[in-house]
């Protein structure tokens, strides 16, 4: 059968959870035996989020094929357990860039290039791309931003045209809105939803299903009212109440029959009831922990937890795998110093030093690593965290005073972390790092090998700077071993300390591959090490 298309739009306010609703619906359809993928269309003019500050847009998620994408793609992968790619995230910037490049090459034969049809045609082409690959029964397209924003109008117009072109049972539009509760009046209000649907209808798109976010249950009479004013069937007004965890949402949507409404609208063949046993088992372990650990997360964007979204979710997966509640304690690395580090970190059962770019907070990360190295607290370093571990060891164990990464100090006498040769002449910032999946070989007998249980692994990267192999022999002599190496380049991927209970750091980003059904082994074993450390303190 030809692929069917679901479009998810949002209104009233941003951050209502379109990504989670899209991922939950996809999970339910996948659990019924359909092959599903999700794509995100973002209305900003950046080509991709790679150059955005995490405070602007949360973390930048990297796919297997090296695309820097929106953090919602992380949700898609964590829920569906299927990798996404470059094609799953498209921005206005990418659309315009493509059309303008075509125009410069003479592709439009002297025509006036306009938003309609040229921009909307390119949006439609990209919306259909994954569906035409023949791999998927259903393609869910999440449209970023809010209905009524100037920048999302071309996307809504493209949806209008596609609905017309594809036919009545080939597409389904789900509109996510807010039903706020007014304390003073003591009631839920439907007016924002009515206005939002009116805006969408004025743009020529009538939603088929409304998903109403609310802090309270929406009674039948209110659902009737919403259905009447918004031109949707009453059983297509779906309540989405605040959940204890995002992983509850597929089950809540199942209870509200969202998947059944979609199947009816798209006239899909009735497949079996959703197979959600393993999902329920995961939730059971997540909600009934038998142990508890405190993990310190040291980073420079800690004021916005979304900046480390994949790491936070990896701890949820790893905690459930260990039947252990992981409490993340956030530490702003700029505030850590030689004087206060012991006071801050002594109650931790494990410390993770997070990825990041730039010099801000670098010294605090070094202090945190020195403290956990000397105290025997389990440590996991990721990307810049691994580079910091190498710099700290060089300064405080190898005695190389002033050792640094050339990112922080271009004139360091000991560049233990240096830029790769092929990166030195790059002038453009966007999309030019070492990105995407690379293989790594783990040394037999190492901690890394025992964590993964195999010698050949593939992990995702996002960085410019590497461990400088000139210093490798000195490190290994002093007890810091390179236990993961990229076979093509000989670059160091994993380092670990010999005389320490659990000290592992990786140049890659393991958090990008952790999913509900496949928690990442590095996080699982790190949480286990933290549990053992807690027991040893008693």
Is 242 flagged in the annotation as binding? no
Evaluate the omega torsion of the peptide bond into residue 158 and state whether it is cis, within 30 degrees of 0: no
Q: How far is CA 322 from CA 158, 244, 448, 531, in A?
A: 46, 20, 19, 9
50 labeled part of a ligand binding site? no
SS3 string, 336-358, reads CCCCCHHHHHCCCCEEEECCCCC
Q: Is 191 annotated as a binding residue?
A: yes
Geometric angle at alpha carbon 203, from 195 and 214, rounded to 5°: 35
| 464 appears as a binding residue in the annotation | yes
User: Is 189 marked as binding a ligand?
Assistant: yes
How far, in Å, CA of 483 to CA of 455, rounded?
A: 10
Tell me if 192 is assigned to a ligand binding site: yes
In whole angstroms, how far apart are CA 478 and each of 366, 376, 396, 414, 448? 18, 17, 11, 17, 19
**Is 55 annotated as contributing to ligand binding?**
yes
Whose CA is closest to 417, among 379, 462, 470?
Answer: 470
15 assigned ligand-binding residue:
yes
Angle at 327 between CA 322 and CA 331, to 5 degrees: 135
Instruction: Check the annotation: does 386 bind a ligand.
Output: yes
Active site residues: 383, 509, 511
Contact by Cβ (8 Å): 380, 354:
no
| 462 closest CA partner among 416, 511, 514, 397 | 511
Using CA atoms, how far apart are residues 20 and 95, in angstroms rounded to an integer?
A: 25
Tell whether residue 436 is among the known ligand binding residues: no
The reply to whether 19 sits in an annotated binding site is yes
- Per the annotation, does 457 bind a ligand? no
Task: Please tell me whether 31 is known to bind a ligand.
Answer: no
Name residues whose C-beta falls within 8 Å of residue 331's C-beta, 6 or more positions apart in sequence. 296, 297, 298, 299, 302, 344, 345, 364, 368
Instruction: Determine whether the annotation assigns residue 333 to a binding site.
Output: no
Q: Please answer whether residues 127 and 86 qualify as being in contact, where contact means their C-beta atoms are separated by less than 8 angstroms.
A: no
Contact between residue 299 and residue 334 where contact means Cβ atoms under 8 Å apart: no
Residue 404 marked in a binding site: no
**Residue 48 marked as a ligand binder:** no
149 is in an annotated binding site: yes
- CA separation for the pair 495, 493 (Å, rounded): 7
* Distance separating alpha carbons of residues 187 and 64, to the nearest angstrom: 47
121 is in an annotated binding site: no
Residue 517: φ, ψ to 5°: -90, -15
Flag whether 194 is marked binding: yes
Binding-site sequence positions for ATP: 15-20, 72, 243
Binding-site sequence positions: 14-20, 55, 72, 142, 149-151, 189-194, 225, 243, 356, 384-387, 407, 464
Binding-site sequence positions for L-glutamine: 55, 356, 384-387, 407, 464
Binding-site sequence positions for UTP: 14, 189-194, 225
Binding-site sequence positions for Mg(2+): 72, 142
């Amino acid at each position: 059968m030809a692929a069917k298309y679901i479009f998810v739009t949002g209104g009233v306010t941003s951050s209502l959870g379109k990504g989670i609703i899209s991922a939950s619906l996809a999970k339910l359809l996948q659990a019924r035996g359909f092959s599903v993928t999700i794509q995100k269309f973002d209305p900003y003019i950046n080509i991709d989020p790679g150059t955005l500050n995490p405070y602007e847009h949360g973390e930048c998620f990297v796919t297997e094929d090296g695309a820097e994408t929106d953090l919602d793609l992380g949700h898609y992968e964590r829920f569906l357990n299927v990798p996404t790619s470059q094609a799953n995230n498209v921005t206005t910037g990418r659309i315009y860039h493509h059309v303008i490049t075509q125009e410069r090459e003479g592709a439009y034969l002297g025509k006036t290039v306009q938003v309609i049809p040229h921009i909307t045609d390119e949006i439609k082409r990209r919306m259909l791309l994954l569906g035409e690959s023949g791999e998927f029964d259903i393609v869910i397209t999440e449209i970023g931003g809010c209905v009524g924003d100037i920048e999302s109008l071309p996307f809504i117009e493209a949806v209008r045209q596609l609905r017309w072109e594809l036919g009545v049972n080939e597409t389904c539009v789900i509109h996510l809105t807010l039903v706020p509760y007014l304390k003073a009046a003591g009631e839920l209000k439907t007016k924002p939803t009515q206005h939002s649907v009116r805006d969408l209808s004025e743009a020529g798109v009538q939603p088929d299903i409304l998903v109403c976010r609310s802090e309270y249950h929406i009674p039948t009479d209110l659902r009737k009212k919403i259905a009447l004013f918004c031109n949707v069937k009453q059983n297509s007004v779906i309540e989405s109440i605040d959940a204890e965890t995002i992983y509850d949402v597929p089950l809540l949507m199942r209870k509200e029959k969202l998947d059944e409404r979609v199947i009816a609208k798209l006239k899909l063949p009735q497949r079996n009831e959703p197979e959600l046993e393993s999902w329920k088992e995961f939730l059971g372990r997540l909600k009934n922990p038998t142990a508890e650990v405190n993990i310190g997360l040291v980073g420079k964007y800690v004021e916005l937890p979304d900046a480390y979204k994949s790491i936070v979710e990896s701890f949820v997966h790893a905690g459930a795998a260990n039947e252990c509640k992981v409490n993340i304690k956030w530490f702003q690395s700029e505030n850590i110093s030689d004087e206060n580090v012991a006071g801050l970190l002594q109650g931790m059962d494990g410390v993770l030093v997070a990825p990041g770019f730039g010099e801000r907070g670098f010294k605090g990360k070094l202090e945190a690593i020195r403290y956990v190295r000397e105290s025997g607290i389990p440590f996991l370093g990721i990307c810049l965290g691994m580079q910091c571990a190498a710099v700290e060891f060089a300064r405080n164990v190898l005695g190389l005073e002033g050792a640094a990464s050339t990112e922080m100090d271009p004139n360091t006498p000991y560049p233990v972390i240096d830029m790769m040769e092929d990166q030195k002449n790059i002038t453009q910032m966007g999309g030019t790092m070492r990105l995407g999946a690379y293989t790594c070989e783990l040394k037999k007998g190492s901690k890394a090998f025992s964590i993964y249980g195999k010698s050949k692994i593939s992990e995702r990267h996002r960085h410019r700077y590497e461990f400088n192999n000139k210093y490798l022999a000195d490190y290994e002599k002093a007890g810091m071993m390179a236990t993961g190496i990229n076979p093509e380049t000989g670059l160091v991927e994993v380092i670990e300390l010999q005389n320490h209970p659990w000290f592992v750091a990786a140049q890659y980003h393991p958090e990008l591959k952790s999913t509900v059904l496949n928690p990442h082994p590095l996080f699982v074993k790190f949480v286990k090490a933290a549990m053992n450390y807690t027991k040893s303190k008693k």
